[in-house]
Structure 1
Amino acid sequence: MKIKNLLLVLVALIVFSCTGEKVNKSEFPQVKEELSEQLKVLVQAIPDDKVPRSYPNKDGDYRMAGIRDWTCGFPAGSFWLMYEMTGDEYWKETALENTLKLDGVQYRTTTHDLGFMVFCSYGNAYRLTGNEDYKNVIIQASESLLTRFNPTIGCIRSWDHNQDKWDYPVIVDNMMNLEMLFWASEVTGNPKYREVAVSHADVTLENHFRDDWSSYHVVSYDTITGEPVLKHTHQGLHHESAWGRGQAWGFYGYTMCYRETGDKKYLNAAENIGDYILENLPEDMVSYWDFNDPAIPNTNRDASAAAIMASAFYEL
């Protein structure tokens, strides 16, 4: 397995770096300082009723989104991680301010992205403060997410839009939201959240992946039979292409599922998806936006996909 070879290389690098004083530890405070400065600039740009979604455009303005956007929990999560890294109360206060304005999200039943929205924000808030109010928000969000589960299909519905195209769409991105459900079962002792997460992971594993372990983006199901009827993309190059971030979602998702369950089929899936990714990454390891773009190597990269992949490789 290429992943095992990669891990051996990483272990070797760690061992050799620990035998001498060649590691420049002074670089790490510099990285922390640069992260802090960048995020402080971001904080100053955040209005009360929106969250930053992307980097500044060519005019220097951040791309903002509403607090109901699927990315709304990411800024707060980033601020909580800065607080954890630095211990600076400024980051705790900033994180709290940007978490509490998402309070109403926990009751939403029209989105599958509640893990992104709530677990990144309130999940880190609870982990770092122990405040029971934050735990209750996550449990309520998990309840809301369960309303989107169809037992005939065995999956959580992703989108409600484009109903003329897809009867019951399930996107590979949804693997990321299962982590919140595993957590909810752990803290409440109620197995229902975990059961839904496992069912969703199993059905996705059966229907989303091709023989080479590349992933479809969208699979639409028949609500009567529970069978898949369409396999499409919504953000990739074409229906049979491998959208870069989609591969990352699946890779992280099954790495996480193995962590939460210990089930070797999830480990096998993660290793195989990781192998596919390694075989298709450029030398600098920053993912192409779609691995089947005929313009490769002269095409766009996706740093967000690269970050997700790196996180999964690190854990695996």
Structure 2
Amino acid sequence: MRFVKIFVSVISIVLVLSSCASFSKDKKTLDASKILMNSSIKIKESAERLSDTDHFPRFIPQDSTNWECVSVGDWCSGFWPGALWYAYECSGDENLRKQAELFTAPIKEIAYTPAQDHDIGFQVYCSYGNGYRLTGNPEYKKIMLAAADTLATLYNPIVGSIHSWPSKKQYPHNTIIDNMMNLELLFWAAKNGGGERLKDIAVSHAEVTMNNIVRPDYSAFHLGSFDDKTGAFIEGKAHQGYADNSMWARGQAWGIYGFAFTYRESGKKEFLETSMKMADKFLERLPEDGIPYWDFDAPLTSETPKDASAAAVAACGMLELYKIIDDEVLRNKYKQAAIALLEILSSPKYLSGDTNQAILLHSTGHKPKNSEIDVPIIYADYYYLEALLKLKKIEAGEVSVK
């Protein structure tokens, strides 16, 4: 039985890599520049219909065409201004820049409000971070540094990680795999005047996550619960996944991407190994059509939803791996795997076209709560654009992608 499982796993990897290799033979199969320009036009049209810059697109309900919007405090608030900045970056359209500035401005309050959860990185780095990268606005830098300090207040030195959800009292100290993504704000701040302490917090958090939330087989729990007085790991939980021992698709993608840039910023090879092995696990378990279901271990029926957002995040992470791996064969493996994911996401099955205001269809937010099931979600669009921009810059020979 063990031989059969190993044989099946090997065959699965070969099929995935063979599929990836087919994309490399014809580079014209994925025209990132064209897709980005078309997406920019669509984002501009959506922005022109959104008059309230204090509210931000989050998802589009089934049988609807327009975005449902949320307030600045929602964890998704930074993705829409971030998408606007990406659209401005690839189009140069000054109207998109103005819209990006308008939707970025309200998020300032997050930086100066006592931290409620770990999502400060998603909210501020995606909006102000991209804005600062593209404009060099010194006010944006000031706000980002303040946001990093606010995020750092959630750090528990006894546990060695950031407290993700203080409101969830059933877990004395909890850290979720998503939180890896928020470390990029801390790394940036440490290099831009915020002090080495912020980098130390980020590295410690990543180590705790790697040693406790990432399982020995390189799948991941969604949430790790810790004793806040001793730092001891108590248990791993699914929360948004199917079961405590299952592999939630988007969580696996957060880990791939988060550990990749944590290696880039820290130079600690164990983070690179973790990212690569999480990516291998993700690729090994992809279904035949190449896009993950919401959880790799969820029972499969005709109603089991996909998660395009997980594919987009994973593509970003694998392109990051391409940038930081020295071995040519390995780095190209992850690049071609990312291209394969983006190729499928860019097909008529996943692009929304004229269906609604979003770019991508078929994402899943929180299946256990029956929330945002098989609908367009803003972070899917954000990371899809980011991956396409990364690929475009890689193909152009640019060293720095983000």
* TM-score normalized by the length of structure 2: 0.72
Q: What secondary structure is seen at the aligned counterpart in 2 of 1:101?
A: helix
Which 4+ residue blocks in structure 1 deviate beyond 4 angstroms? Answer: 1-14
**Paired amino acid for 2:145:** I
Whole-angstrom CA distance in 2 between matches of 1:154 and 1:257: 16
Match of 1:141 in 2: 147
Whole-angstrom CA distance in 2 between matches of 1:259 and 1:11: 26
Does residue 209 in structure 1 map to residue 251 in structure 2?
no
Q: Identity of aligned pairs, percent?
A: 39
How many correspondences in the alignment? 309
* TM-score normalized by the length of structure 1: 0.90
Whole-angstrom CA distance in 2 between matches of 1:55 and 1:30: 24
Q: Given the superposition, is the C-alpha separation of residues 112 and 62 from structure 1 closer, same or farther in structure 2, using an over 3 Å criterion?
A: same
**Paired amino acid for 1:315:** E
Shift in Å, 1:58: 1.4
Match of 2:373 in 1: none
Instruction: List per-residue Cα deviations over 1:118-150 (Å, max 9, x = no partner).
Output: 011111111111111100100000000111000
Match of 2:126 in 1: 120
Is the CA contact 1:3–1:274 (under 8 Å) kept in the aligned structure 2?
no
Does residue 255 in structure 1 map to residue 245 in structure 2?
no
Shift in Å, 1:41: 3.4
Structure 2 portions without partners, runs of 5+ = 1-9, 322-402
Whole-angstrom CA distance in 2 between matches of 1:296 and 1:195: 45
For structure 1, which segment, 296-305 or 98-107, has the greater mean C-alpha deviation from structure 2 after superposition? 296-305
Shift in Å, 1:70: 0.7
Whole-angstrom CA distance in 1 between matches of 2:162 and 2:135: 30
Q: How does 1:171-182 map to 2 (within 5 A)?
A: 171-182=176-187
Is the CA contact 2:40–2:88 (under 8 Å) kept in the aligned structure 1?
no
Shift in Å, 1:242: 1.1
Shift in Å, 1:247: 0.6
Whole-angstrom CA distance in 2 between matches of 1:297 and 1:177: 35
Larger relative contact order (CA 8 Å, sep ≥ 6): 2
Match of 1:38 in 2: 42
Whole-angstrom CA distance in 1 between matches of 2:196 and 2:14: 33
Does residue 234 in structure 1 map to residue 233 in structure 2?
no
Structure 1 portions without partners, runs of 5+ = none
Q: Given the superposition, is the C-alpha separation of residues 139 and 5 from structure 1 closer, same or farther in structure 2, using an over 3 Å criterion?
A: farther
Q: How does 1:1-316 map to 2 (within 5 A)?
A: 14=24, 23=28, 27=31, 30-46=34-50, 47-108=52-113, 109-163=115-169, 165-188=170-193, 190-295=195-300, 299-316=304-321
Whole-angstrom CA distance in 1 between matches of 2:21 and 2:284: 21
**Paired amino acid for 1:145:** L
Q: Given the superposition, is the C-alpha separation of residues 296 and 207 from structure 1 closer, same or farther in structure 2, using an over 3 Å criterion?
A: farther
**Paired amino acid for 1:241:** S
Whole-angstrom CA distance in 2 between matches of 1:148 and 1:81: 30
Q: Given the superposition, is the C-alpha separation of residues 59 and 8 from structure 1 closer, same or farther in structure 2, using an over 3 Å criterion?
A: closer
